[in-house]
Structure 1
Amino acid sequence: MSELSYNVDKKLVLASGRAHPELAEQVAAELGTELLPLNAYDFANGEIYVRSDESVRGKEIFVIQSHPAPLNNWLMEQLIMVDSMKRASARRITVVAPFYPYARQDKKGRGREPISARLVADMFKVAGADRIMSVDLHTAQIQGFFDGPVDHLFAIPLLAEHIRKEVGDDPVTVVSPDTGRVRVAEQWAERLGGAPLAFVHKSRDLTMPNQAVSKTVVGQVKGRTCVLIDDMIDTGGTIAGAVKVLKDAGAKDVIIAATHAVFSDPAAQRLAECGAREVVVTNTLPIPESKRFETLTVLSIAPLLARAIKEVFEDGSVTSLFDGDA
């Protein structure tokens, strides 16, 4: 039976969609369990079918799914998985979405725009989800979109520990790619021993997606190793532009750190050629071999997800995983 039992009354089951099976298998290994056997396939017209091969009645289900391109397919598959578990009398269902879909559409920037991140939360609720777990939400306000508990996990400790070993005793400046990430940059600075902060001023045309122009850097970066941080890298234009600005300002080295490697084309090429010493990301999203390059480092988020799942299952404290920072 694909389950992990901590007492006679509760049974944990981990179910995975087809978007990123490698991550799901890593999480299952961390928990000492196996993935729930599922029968999932697409009909000729694109409709998705999902059915559990085992009973889930009365069990605690964690439905894990990453959301790479084509994002809409994987979101729909996860919704259908939740619906099938609910109709099969699961005791409680937690959606595990390491990369929250539509997170960038979290507010109205102009009239007549949707708030798609809220719509996604509503769909999860209607499908039957009792709880949502995600990593490094694009904005913290998304936690309020779901009518139920939301576990907001943070990859900063994982990423910062790796970078701390890489930079050694080099003088470090933490750099936000824009003013909107300064609060996150402050958390990074604390993790890196009180490093000073800087940010890159950029302009963005709200009518043009995935386009921003990095202009100038505010802060002391000359002769220092700059840790350029962001929650996600999509096409890589903003980050690559920021690297150039930092290099032009006299930065000794630039290390890029981001949680979600969306890597829409031509991100891999831009990052490989931008002059950064290293690009450090996590595996919240699958990264195919065609988008990997020499300076890329991928850290596994599976241990963090597994610890959080275990805390939720045992009615423990997810906040305790972050020393009170969550």
Structure 2
Amino acid sequence: MKIISGNSNLPLTRAIAGYLELPVVDASVRRFADEEIFVEIHENVRGEDVFVVQSTSYPANDNLMELLIMIDALRRASAKRITAVLPYFGYARQDRKPGPRTPISAKLVANLITQAGADRVLSIDLHAGQIQGFFDIPTDNLFAAPVMSADILARFGNEQLMVVSPDVGGVVRARALAKRLNNAPLAIVDKRREKPGESEVMNIIGQVQDHFCIIIDDIVDSGGTLCNAAAALKEQGASDVVAYCTHGVLSGGAAPRIDGSQLKELVITDSIQATEAVKDAGRIRHLTIAPLLGEAIRRIADESSVSSLFD
């Protein structure tokens, strides 16, 4: 088994390799003068089970092309099996046609990864479960809920917890977390999104008075939804509001927006490498998913159960 990485999230790859007690494969992923991507693998991978760790986060197109070219290089180097490990799967929000003449980009990206030569895919908290069906190869979708629930119980276990879904579509995710938190009660934020990147909170479904509210979501981008939801929950009498999100995209002025909001804290995983603005934010904290990914990789290599990680 070998672990190889693109440039999107080297610290996470090194942490995964450390968990598995393996070195990261020596490879060059660099640019020509015209920004074309060049990949060269400096180790023999013939007959090896190779795991390519690459989040397709910002710059999404560059990181996606790095992934595709690395997979092609490994296939041509006669790797026995190539697993694309995507801690964050970009383009996942374009998983359906919301209007006429719009693409389903998540399916297109799935086709590209498959055609490049990947034999299987491993990801965490896909934006929608049906994306697994977009791939014509085996796909494992891990969940960050066990990591988050352990952190919540360790830090806020003595509070009167309530799990909050930021929209109706996230109720299944919120219910799963609430079950892990000793069947905590559930509330839902009813919001209306006028256009991408902007949201308006309409009302709260559920009694949040005097509860310590945990907002759970898979992706935080602009942070507008979380900030609006936190303000609405505080207006309804919530004692405090903390948000847990798997993928901290946090584009534009999201980090200062979080710092200036009524959120006590935003907790994200290291599926996306943090920018300097995110690192400097006072209310943003990181959880590592390296042990979770490392254990899943070990089980895939050993042909043992991955789903039992979440029993």
Shorter-chain TM-score tier: over 0.9
Which residue pairs with 2:31 in the alignment? 42
Give the counterpart letter for 2:274 in structure 1: I
Aligned-partner Cα distance in 2 for 1:299–1:135: 14
| Pairing 1:227-266 to 2, within 5 Å after superposition | 227-266=214-253
Which residue pairs with 2:75 in the alignment? 86
Confirm whether residue 214 of structure 1 aligns to residue 201 of structure 2.
yes
Q: Offset of 1:296 from its aligned partner?
A: 1.7
Q: Offset of 1:65 from its aligned partner?
A: 0.5
Q: Offset of 1:285 from its aligned partner?
A: 0.2
Give the counterpart letter for 1:226 in structure 2: C
* 1:173/1:220 contact within 8 Å kept: no
Which residue pairs with 2:55 in the alignment? 66
Aligned-partner Cα distance in 1 for 2:310–2:265: 25
Confirm whether residue 136 of structure 1 aligns to residue 125 of structure 2.
yes
Give the counterpart letter for 2:308 in structure 1: S
Q: Offset of 1:73 from its aligned partner?
A: 0.3
Gaps of 5+ in 1: 1-11
Deviations for 1:100-126, whole angstroms, at most 9, x for unmatched residues?
Answer: 110000011111111110111100111
* 2:57/2:89 contact within 8 Å kept: no
Aligned-partner Cα distance in 2 for 1:82–1:116: 20
Give the counterpart letter for 1:319 in structure 2: S
| Structure 2 SS opposite 1:105 | coil
What's the % identity of the aligned pairs?
A: 44
Superposed structure 1 runs of 4+ greater than 4 Å apart: none
Aligned-partner Cα distance in 1 for 2:277–2:129: 32
| Pairing 1:50-129 to 2, within 5 Å after superposition | 50-129=39-118
Aligned-partner Cα distance in 2 for 1:40–1:263: 25
Gaps of 5+ in 2: none
| Structure 1 SS opposite 2:83 | strand
Deviations for 1:175-207, whole angstroms, at most 9, x for unmatched residues?
Answer: 0001010111110110111111111111013xx
Q: Offset of 1:297 from its aligned partner?
A: 1.5
Aligned-partner Cα distance in 2 for 1:129–1:65: 13
Aligned-partner Cα distance in 2 for 1:38–1:184: 37
Shifted more, 284-293 versus 226-235: the winner is: 284-293
Confirm whether residue 319 of structure 1 aligns to residue 307 of structure 2.
yes
TM-score by length of 1: 0.94
Aligned-partner Cα distance in 1 for 2:214–2:28: 44
Deviations for 1:204-225, whole angstroms, at most 9, x for unmatched residues?
Answer: 13xx321111121110101110
Confirm whether residue 224 of structure 1 aligns to residue 211 of structure 2.
yes
Deviations for 1:13-39, whole angstroms, at most 9, x for unmatched residues?
Answer: 101001111000000000000100002
Aligned-partner Cα distance in 2 for 1:258–1:39: 32
| Structure 2 SS opposite 1:121 | helix
Give the counterpart letter for 2:113 in structure 1: F
Which residue pairs with 1:28 in the alignment? 17
Q: Could you say what the CA RMSD is over the residues aligned between the two structures, in angstroms? A: 0.8
| Pairing 1:134-283 to 2, within 5 Å after superposition | 134-205=123-194, 208-283=195-270
Aligned-partner Cα distance in 2 for 1:86–1:99: 23
* 1:16/1:35 contact within 8 Å kept: yes
Q: Offset of 1:142 from its aligned partner?
A: 0.3
Aligned-partner Cα distance in 2 for 1:289–1:113: 34
